[in-house]
Structure 1
Amino acid sequence: MSEAISFIPRISNGRWFRALPDGLRDALGEFAVVRRLPAGQCLFSRGDAPCGLYCVVEGAVRIGVVGANGKEALLGLIEPPNWFGEICLFDGQARTHDAFAERPTTLLQIPQAALLRLLDQHPEYWRELGLLMSHKLRMLFGVLEAHSLLPAAPRLARRLLLIAEGYGGASIGRRELNLPQEQLASMLSLSRQTTNQILKELEARGILRLGYGTIEIVDHAGLCDAAQNPG
């Protein structure tokens, strides 16, 4: 058994991968290459040529872009067992953002050429890749709507719920998030002070417990209520 195939059981609880046809799931395992990145290493940069589809097995990948002023806009953290990189598979164009290992990270990479050959042989599998992309598009619309219409506090609560649920990619929500407050603030375009104030208020209500670089969800129902209540 190859090392890549040995990792397949560890990502099998992911909703997208679990629902794939057997043939596609087996082919992804066959073509997969294991990539290991130390914390801070770049996986790909904005403008790079397409290099395939990825799945996070361990660790996390930070997706963002650095502006002309040197400030990074953090769009999200991709954690196990989520897949990413499919946009370039459809249009063949350059990477849209930077991807860095947030901490020591293990990934499965499905090389672009191998995946395109498979899709030429089995065009019906394009639908599954389309479902992966459409899920993220729906999620993006929700994030944009919240950013436009909701005050900071419910936006923050909604983002914590999204992260806890693996952005819809995992089958079971988590209680403890490895997420520094600076990164959460960057994701939401909030100041560090505003983010800390909201988190402290949620902690005082018994909804969260804050630690060094961690946020624990103590009361999931209470966090859901905070995400819906703008007042």
Structure 2
Amino acid sequence: MPCPDDLRPILLSGHWFSQLPRALQDALLERANIHNLAAGQRLFSRGAPPCGLYAVISGAVRVGAVSREGKEALLTLVEAPYWFGEISLFDGQPRTHDAFAEGPTQVLQIGQTVLLALLGREPAYWRHMALLMSQKLRLAFIALEEMSLLPAAPRLARRLLMMAEGYGESGPRRVIHLAQEQLALMLALSRQTTNQILKDLEARGALRLTYGEIELLDLEKLRESARIG
């Protein structure tokens, strides 16, 4: 199913797409297809061949890996208008992680072959793909540093702030669709520790916990919790 142009406003609400030249925006939309995924449906698997670039249009995508023993490592949970999948575009190597729909989800896809053909005709566009990947690399370094150096409570607060800002891709959001178990997996914390930190933040009026969601009530209090010393 071709990508309708009325999806452009959704994509323009994200930083990366909004900064692209109009000609590249048009070229991506012209070559894109829409996929509707059911809750839990796999988008791609770790080790799968490259399949192009994706953007979340609605719903959310869970990116992580599952060991042979069934233990899950959850890297991130992304919502609209987040773009992902660009690593395999550069190196042509298999997918590094699994991606599943978190609830009913709609994604836009530009296939690997057509995207490489476009970039071959317009090599200046590679810079924009590199900027997309460099943003992810910057966030990955920040996450690694925080995992090594920060206590659990400020690390959790910083991750909530990062998610509230759409990982730098979209404007601030006050409701994060994320279960406590998923947040614990993302931060390599126990569920009990995660629950206790969230309860403390709720008692301070920084957030409100509901089923499967975290509503951020006071970002300044959350920023205070994210500080060290």
> Under a length normalisation based on structure 1, what TM-score does the superposition of the two structures give?
0.97
Q: Secondary structure at the match of 2:81?
A: coil
Equivalents in 1 of 2:7, 2:186: separation in Å? 30
| Residues 4 and 108 in structure 1, CA contact (< 8 A), matched pair in contact too | no
Matched, 1:52 2:43: no
Equivalent residue for 1:132? 132
Matched, 1:222 2:221: yes
5 Å-filtered alignment, 1:1-231, equals 3-170=3-170, 172-229=171-228
Deviation per CA, 1:120-166: give whole Å up to 9, x if none. Answer: 00000000000000000001100000000000000000110111111
Equivalents in 1 of 2:179, 2:23: separation in Å? 40
Aligned-pair CA distance for 1:214: 0.9
Q: Secondary structure at the match of 1:55?
A: strand
Code of the residue aligned with 2:63 in structure 1: it is: I
Aligned-pair CA distance for 1:3: 4.3
Runs of 4+ in 1 over 6 A off after TM superposition: none
Code of the residue aligned with 1:132 in structure 2: it is: L
Equivalents in 1 of 2:68, 2:149: separation in Å? 28
Deviation per CA, 1:48-77: give whole Å up to 9, x if none. Answer: 000000000000000000012211100001
Code of the residue aligned with 1:202 in structure 2: it is: L
Equivalents in 2 of 1:227, 1:159: separation in Å? 9
Equivalents in 1 of 2:148, 2:136: separation in Å? 18
Equivalents in 2 of 1:225, 1:127: separation in Å? 37
Equivalents in 2 of 1:224, 1:136: separation in Å? 22
Structure 1 pair 3/124, CA: closer, same or farther in 2 (3 Å)? Answer: closer
Which runs of 5 or more structure 1 residues have no equivalent in the other structure?
Answer: none
| Residues 86 and 129 in structure 1, CA contact (< 8 A), matched pair in contact too | yes
Equivalents in 1 of 2:194, 2:24: separation in Å? 42
| Residues 12 and 18 in structure 2, CA contact (< 8 A), matched pair in contact too | yes
Equivalents in 1 of 2:228, 2:176: separation in Å? 22
Code of the residue aligned with 1:181 in structure 2: it is: Q
Equivalents in 2 of 1:106, 1:118: separation in Å? 24
Aligned-pair CA distance for 1:92: 0.3
Which runs of 5 or more structure 2 residues have no equivalent in the other structure?
Answer: none
Q: Secondary structure at the match of 2:75?
A: strand
| Residues 73 and 187 in structure 1, CA contact (< 8 A), matched pair in contact too | yes
Equivalents in 2 of 1:206, 1:78: separation in Å? 25
| Residues 62 and 74 in structure 2, CA contact (< 8 A), matched pair in contact too | yes
| Residues 76 and 187 in structure 1, CA contact (< 8 A), matched pair in contact too | yes
Equivalents in 2 of 1:62, 1:144: separation in Å? 19
| Residues 36 and 106 in structure 2, CA contact (< 8 A), matched pair in contact too | yes
Number of residues of Structure 1 aligned to a counterpart in Structure 2: 228
Aligned alpha-carbon RMSD (Å): 0.9
Code of the residue aligned with 1:197 in structure 2: it is: Q
Sequence identity (%): 61
